[in-house]
Amino acid sequence: MGSSTQFRNGPPFAGALVILLLLPVVLPSLFSPLTGHASSVFSEYNVPKPKHTILLDGALQREISDEQKNNLWTAMTSKEWKHSLTTISNNNLSLPTSTQGYIQVFLDGGLNQQRMGVCDAVAVAKILNATLVIPHLEVNPVWKDSSSFADIFDVDHFIDVLKDDISIVRELPLEYSWSTREYYALAIRSTRIKTAPVHASANWYLENVGPVLQSFGVAAIAPFSHRLAFDNMPKEIQQLRCKVNFKALEFVPHVKALGDALVSRLRSPLPPQLDENEDYLQEASDQNIANGKFVALHLRFDKDMAAHSACDFGGGKAENLALAKYRQVLWQGRVLNSQFTDEELRSQGRCPMTPEEIGLLLAALGFDSNTRLYLASHKVYGGKERLSSLLDLFPLMEDKKSLASKIELAKVDKKASLLAAVDYYVGMQSDIFISASPGNMHNAMVGHRTFENLKTIRPNMGLLGQLFLNKTMEWDEFQAAVQEGHANRQGEIRLRKPKQSIYTYPAPDCMCHHQQEAGLIST
275-332 pLDDT tens trace: 666 666 655 544 444 469 999 999 988 888 888 888 888 888 888 888 888 887 777 6
Distance CA 421, CA 425 (A): 6
Give yes or no for residue 477 having a pLDDT over 90.
yes
Residues 430-456: what's their mean pLDDT? 93
Q: What is the reported pLDDT for 114?
A: 95
pTM of the model: 0.85
Considering the domain architecture, whether residues 74 and 123 belong to the same structural domain is answered as: no
Confidence of residue 35 (pLDDT cuts 50, 70, 90): very low
Considering the domain architecture, whether residues 228 and 263 belong to the same structural domain is answered as: no
Considering the domain architecture, whether residues 235 and 184 belong to the same structural domain is answered as: yes
Burial class (CB in 10 A: 0-12, 13-18, 19+), 175: exposed
Considering the domain architecture, whether residues 242 and 257 belong to the same structural domain is answered as: no
Q: What is the reported pLDDT for 337?
A: 60
Considering the domain architecture, whether residues 263 and 229 belong to the same structural domain is answered as: no
Q: What is the reported pLDDT for 43?
A: 55
Q: Is 375 domain-assigned?
A: yes
State residue 392 phi and psi, 5-degree precision. Answer: -60, -40
Q: Using a pLDDT cut of 90, give the percent of the chain over it.
A: 55
What is the total count of domains within the chain? 2
379-426 pLDDT tens trace: 788 888 889 999 999 999 999 999 999 999 999 998 999 999 999 999
Q: What is the mean pLDDT of the chain?
A: 84
Q: What is the reported pLDDT for 48?
A: 76
Considering the domain architecture, whether residues 201 and 264 belong to the same structural domain is answered as: no
Considering the domain architecture, whether residues 494 and 440 belong to the same structural domain is answered as: yes
Q: What is the reported pLDDT for 158?
A: 98
CATH number for the domain spanning 111: value is 3.40.50
In this structure, the strands spanning 136-137 and 102-107 are parallel
Distance CA 257, CA 247 (A): 18
- In sequence order, which residues have a C-beta less than 8 Å from that of residue 245 and are 6 or more positions away? 115, 116, 119, 447, 448, 503
Give SS3 for 360.
helix
Q: What is the reported pLDDT for 13?
A: 42
Q: What is the reported pLDDT for 9?
A: 47
Considering the domain architecture, whether residues 239 and 366 belong to the same structural domain is answered as: no
Considering the domain architecture, whether residues 185 and 296 belong to the same structural domain is answered as: no
Q: Is 329 domain-assigned?
A: no
Considering the domain architecture, whether residues 454 and 362 belong to the same structural domain is answered as: yes
Q: What is the reported pLDDT for 269?
A: 74
Considering the domain architecture, whether residues 389 and 507 belong to the same structural domain is answered as: yes
Residues 69-86: what's their mean pLDDT? 78
Q: What is the reported pLDDT for 521?
A: 44
Residue 474 is part of which domain span?
Answer: 53-78+253-268+291-301+352-513
Q: Is 243 domain-assigned?
A: yes
- In sequence order, which residues have a C-beta less than 8 Å from that of residue 164 and are 6 or more positions away? 87, 88, 89, 95
Q: How far are the Cα atoms of 363, 459, 502 from residue 360, in angstroms, in the given order?
A: 5, 12, 31
- Which is more confident, 94 or 253? 253
Distance CA 424, CA 111 (A): 10
Residue type, 492: E
